[in-house]
Amino acid sequence: MSDSSQAEPLVPELTRDVVLKVARLARLHLAESEVESFTSQLTQILDYVGVLDEADTEGVEPVAGAMGLNSVLREDLPTTSLSRDDALSGAPHHDGSYFLVPPILDPRAE
Amino acid sequence: MTAPCSPATTIIGLEVHVQLLTETKIFCGCLNRFNPEEPNVQTCPVCLGLPGALPVMNRRALELAIRAGLALSGTIAGTTKWDRKQYYYPDLPKAYQISQFDLPFCDGGWMDVDDADDGDETQASRIRLIRVHLEEDAGKNLHDETQRGRDSRIDLNRAGTPLLEIVSEPDLRSAAQSRRYLEEMRLLMVYLGVSDCNMQEGSLRCDANINLELVNDDGVAIRTPIVEIKNLNSFRGVEAALEYEIGRQRQEFAECGGVYADSEKQTRGWDADRGVTFAQRGKEDAADYRYFPDPDLVPVQIAAEWIEELRTGLCELPAARRQRLVDDLKLSRYDASVIIDQGRDLADYFEAVAQRCGDPKRAANWVTQDVLRELNDRGQAIGDFAIDADGLAAILARIASGDLTTRSAREVFTALLDDDPEGEQVTVEARIDEIISDRGLATIADSGALEPLIDAVIERNPQAAADFRGGKQAAIGKLIGEVMREAKGADPQSVRAALIERLSS
Ligand SMILES: [Zn+2]
């Protein structure tokens, strides 16, 4: 968020550190030039949606969805799953039975 | 422990994960079935996280979850919603897990855990719960353990199966108590039909948070940094990992004097083979899940009538049943626990035997000793046991009526067990009659039938008879033994009395 006149910005300021942290959480490796361009681009996005901060929400009940729907449930009935070949077909690497990923170095006990 | 240790409090909280017994996954219609032999055959665009696929909540999963929440005395929320918990891991195709953050379906609750190991004390500790929530499970990673540097393999059959997470307050005070808590939780979930809690298949797993409050040299109470031990999947593992961690934290405290360079919560794994916990994640990898409401799912309103309907439909829970066996059937706390802890089928079996033979105490003795021993020896479940409740009740009824001595009853029991299940089918009563007559086990109640036997035995053992008459009380043992061998159905007390009478005349 840029320097705004609001006393308490809802969104923390988007610093270079924040960008690097978000990139790390998303497993993205950013070049130095990208860090800069993303910092400014993300700032622009936050400024854009910042207009929502101006809405008066006094006395409005928070909702979890915008559709006004709730309690959409399905019965516990099986549907057809994909064949294994189809399931694996979109993966960059597989051995015909399993998806393959680079060795997980810090095996979380399963 | 040898060194004099300062008074200490162990503080443990458990997060228990229970897989729900639904037919299908939580947000799609793929089968919810343990199937490691056929990897990646139970997936679809929803649980593979393919673009554009939309999840829809499984009503049955919610129903089972509410049942569990009610049985744990939690408060079921009127409205609950779904949130995305974001982290990267190869077994999580969407790179987020659908879970519940600030509006779990169930708040609070508690479970009582018996304190005394032998169960004779009715003393129990109430372990409070923080919350119970629903979430989807991840898939399974298979790490290459033989060759370095080979790819890890991923099976997504389990991805998106429904999981209940039960989070306790840090109310547990020892490793053994934590184990009992988990055992009681398993029993409850199996009773409810909510989960099979098969630990080999990973249907019950837990994470444990543990730290200690220790007093330093200046008499100041200091809490050691909290450690979370991840993915414990056996009762023994939970107890052993916590025991180890208590020792490790004590030692660390002794070494640093309670001054920690880093007091942040730490995540550790449990190496069951080496029996140690090990540091798992660096600080820079600290979890930052960035929860937010899942826009693909709508909130769920749980109608009060539905909750009441499910509450009414709950079966008698293990704790209540244990208490009823003590209060109404007059069993010892210990016997009641042994029976109830074996699961619902054995308790049903016991109650059927107790009711039909009319003597709960005797039924309890037989079930907890003879039946359990045979089941253990044979590696059988009670459902496969050769003697059904009617059979055992029939044997016990004959002891009560005086038609069989306890000893002969054991012989009938063993004979029934050895019967060929494919053999001739007769009623159990008829078969018991047969065994009694084949083996001469009928009780010889009237002394008239014993007399000739006693006379014969005395005649064959003049020395023993003379010794007894001469005041050597012990000599009668040999005579009783011989009579009993010939008259199996005789009651040893009657034989003794008849012998003494005969020898004294
Ligand atoms: Zn699916």
Domain-located, residue A27:
yes
Three-state secondary structure of B185-201: HHHHHHHHCCCCCCCCC
Chain A residues with beta carbon closer than 8 angstroms to that of B48: 82, 87, 90
- Judge contact between B191 and B4, C-beta under 8 A: no
Model pLDDT, residue B182: 97
Question: What are the residues whose beta carbons fall under 8 Å from the beta carbon of B269, sequence distance 6 or more?
Answer: A108, A109, B229, B230, B231, B277, B278, B280
- Smallest CA–CA separation between A61 and chain B, in Å? 13
Model pLDDT, residue B394: 92
Instruction: Give this prediction's pTM.
Output: 0.84
Question: Cβ–Cβ of A100/B44 closer than 8 Å?
Answer: no
Q: Characterise B172 by phi-psi region: left (phi > 0), alpha (psi -120 to 50), beta (else).
A: beta
What is the average pLDDT value for chain A, to the nearest integer? 83
Q: How far is B99 from B84, CA to CA, in rounded Å?
A: 6
ipTM: 0.83
Model pLDDT, residue B228: 95
Domain-located, residue A86:
no
Q: Is the pLDDT of residue A85 over 50?
A: yes
What domains are there in chain B, each with its CATH number?
13-206+286-305 (no CATH), 316-439 (no CATH), 447-504 (1.10.10)
Question: Cβ–Cβ of B57/A74 closer than 8 Å?
Answer: yes
Chain A residues with beta carbon closer than 8 angstroms to that of B26: none
Query: CATH number of the domain that A40 lies in?
Result: 1.10.20.60
Quick one: closest CA in A to B204, which residue?
A: A110
- Judged by a CB distance cut-off of 8 A, whether residue A52 touches chain B is no
Quick one: closest CA in A to B229, which residue?
A: A109
3-state class of B497 per DSSP? helix
Question: Cβ–Cβ of B153/A95 closer than 8 Å?
Answer: yes
Sheet order of strands, B152-155 included:
A99-101, B152-155, B140-142
- Judged by a CB distance cut-off of 8 A, whether residue A49 touches chain B is no
Q: Is the pLDDT of residue A110 over 50?
A: no
Backbone angles phi, psi at A22, to 5 degrees: -60, -40
Other CB atoms within a 10 A radius of the CB of residue B59 amount to: 17
Domain-located, residue A62:
no
- Judged by a CB distance cut-off of 8 A, whether residue A12 touches chain B is no
State mean pLDDT over A59-87: 89
Q: How far is B468 from B392, CA to CA, in rounded Å?
A: 40
Q: Tell me how many domains chain A contains.
A: 1
Model pLDDT, residue B354: 96
Backbone angles phi, psi at B142, to 5 degrees: -115, 115
Distance from the alpha carbon of residue A69 to the mean position of ligand 1, in angstroms: 23
Chain B residues with beta carbon closer than 8 angstroms to that of A93: 151
Question: Cβ–Cβ of A74/B45 closer than 8 Å?
Answer: no
Model pLDDT, residue A99: 97
Total CB pairs under 8 A between chain A and B: 149
Dihedral angle, C-alpha B461, B462, B468, B471, nearest 10 °:
-150
Question: Cβ–Cβ of B290/A25 closer than 8 Å?
Answer: yes
Q: Is the pLDDT of residue A66 over 60?
A: yes
Model pLDDT, residue B7: 64
Tokens of B359: 């003597």
Domain-located, residue A38:
yes
Distance from the alpha carbon of residue A79 to the mean position of ligand 1, in angstroms: 9
Comparing CB atoms, the residue among B59, B89, B295 nearest residue A65 is: B295
Domain-located, residue A36:
yes
Q: Characterise B59 by phi-psi region: left (phi > 0), alpha (psi -120 to 50), beta (else).
A: alpha
- Smallest CA–CA separation between B133 and chain A, in Å? 17
3-state class of B171 per DSSP? coil
Beta-strand ranges (E) seen in A1-83 are 73-74
Q: Which domain holds residue A17?
A: 8-53
Chain B residues with beta carbon closer than 8 angstroms to that of A83: 41
What burial class does residue B157 get, using C-beta atoms within 10 Å of its C-beta: 0-12 exposed, 13-18 middle, 19+ buried? buried
Q: What is the DSSP secondary-structure string of B11-22?
A: EEEEEEEEE---
With bands split at pLDDT 50, 70 and 90, how would you rate the model's confidence at A5?
Answer: very low
DSSP state of B380: -
Chain B residues with beta carbon closer than 8 angstroms to that of A75: 59-60
**Residues whose beta carbons lie less than 5 angstroms from ion ligand 1:** B 28, 30, 44, 46-47
Q: How far is B120 from B125, CA to CA, in rounded Å?
A: 14
- Judged by a CB distance cut-off of 8 A, whether residue A97 touches chain B is yes
As beta bridge partners, residue B58 has A74
Distance from the alpha carbon of residue B44 to the mean position of ligand 1, in angstroms: 4
**Which residue did the predictor score with more confidence, A47 or B163?**
B163
Model pLDDT, residue B269: 92
Model pLDDT, residue B405: 83
Other CB atoms within a 10 A radius of the CB of residue A50 amount to: 16
pLDDT tens, N- to C-terminus, chain B (505 residues): 444 445 689 999 999 999 999 999 999 999 999 999 999 999 999 999 999 999 999 999 999 999 999 999 999 999 999 999 998 889 999 999 999 999 999 999 999 998 865 545 568 899 999 999 999 999 999 987 765 678 899 999 999 999 999 999 999 999 999 999 999 999 999 999 999 999 989 999 999 999 999 988 888 899 999 999 998 999 999 999 999 999 999 999 999 888 888 888 899 999 999 999 999 865 556 678 999 999 999 999 999 999 999 999 999 999 999 999 999 999 999 999 999 999 999 999 999 999 999 999 999 999 999 999 999 999 999 999 999 999 999 999 988 888 888 888 998 999 999 887 776 677 888 888 888 888 877 766 555 677 778 888 888 888 888 898 888 888 888 888 888 887 766 777 778 878 887 887 7
State mean pLDDT over A85-98: 96
